[in-house]
Chains A and B, each alone.
Chain A
Amino acid sequence: MASKKNRLPKIAIGFVGWAVALWIFFPLFWMVLTGFKSEMDAISTPPHLIFHPTLQSYHDVFAQENYWHFTFNTVFMSVLATGCALLLGVPAAYSMAFYPGKRTRGTLLWMLSTRMLPLSGCLCRSISSPNRRIFSIRLSVWP
Chain B
Amino acid sequence: MEAALTPPDRVTRKKGAGIFLSPAVIILLIWSLIPLVLTLWYSFQNYNLVDPTLKGFAGVSNYVYLLTDPDFLYSLLNTVLLVLGVLVVSVGGGVLLAVLYDQEFWGRGIARVLVISPFFVMPTVSALLWKNLMLHPIYGVYSAFMRAVGLQPIDWLAQYPMQTVMMIVAWEWLPFAVLILLTAVQSLDHEQKEAARMDGAGPIARFRYIILPHLSRAITVVVMIETIYLLTVFAEISVTTSGGPGVASTNLAFLIFSRALQQFDIGGASAGGVVAIVIANIIAAFLVRAVARNLEA
Contacts and interface: CB of A to CB of B under 8 A. Distances in A.
Interface of A: 10, 13-14, 16-18, 20-22, 24-28, 30-31, 34, 42-47, 88-89, 91-92, 94-96, 98-99, 101, 105, 107-109, 111-124, 127-128, 130-131, 134-136, 139, 142
A88 B27 contact: yes
Given A95-B21, A118-B253, A10 B115 contact: no
A99 to B, nearest CB: 4
Given A27-B130, A88-B24, 11 more contacts: A14-B105, A27-B129, A28-B118, A42-B139, A88-B23, A94-B20, A118-B232, A118-B276, A121-B276, A122-B39, A123-B273
Given A21-B115, A24-B114, A24-B174, A119 B121 contact: no
Contacts, number: 198
Interface of A, secondary structure class, is helix
Given A91-B23, A92-B25, A99 B133 contact: no
Given A27-B134, A91-B24, A116-B232, A123 B139 contact: no
25 contacts: A14-B107, A17-B105, A26-B141, A27-B171, A28-B117, A30-B129, A46-B148, A47-B140, A88-B27, A92-B24, A112-B287, A112-B288, A113-B280, A114-B32, A117-B232, A118-B253, A118-B276, A119-B253, A120-B253, A121-B276, A122-B35, A122-B39, A123-B260, A135-B228, A142-B295
Given A121-B276, A142-B295, A31 B114 contact: no
Given A20-B100, A114-B32, A124-B38, A139 B18 contact: no
Contacts of B221: 139
Interface stretch (B57-65, B155-163, B242-250, B264-272): B264-272
B129 A109 contact: no
B13 interface: yes
A10 B288 CA distance: 41
A90 to B, nearest CB: 9
Contacts of B219: none
Contact of B284 (A16, A113, A120): A113
A17 B273 contact: no
Nearest to A111: B28
Interface in B115-141: 115, 117-118, 121, 125-126, 129-130, 133-134, 138-141
Contact of B292 (A18, A105, A124): A105
Given A99-B13, A113-B280, A118-B231, A31 B273 contact: no
Nearest to A137: B24
B207 interface: no
A100 B196 CA distance: 38
Interface in B16-49: 16-18, 20-21, 23-25, 27-28, 31-32, 34-36, 38-39, 42
Contacts of B274: 121
Contacts of B285: 109, 113
A73 to B, nearest CB: 13
A34 B284 contact: no
A119 B276 CA distance: 10
Contacts of A89: 24
B89 to A, nearest CB: 12
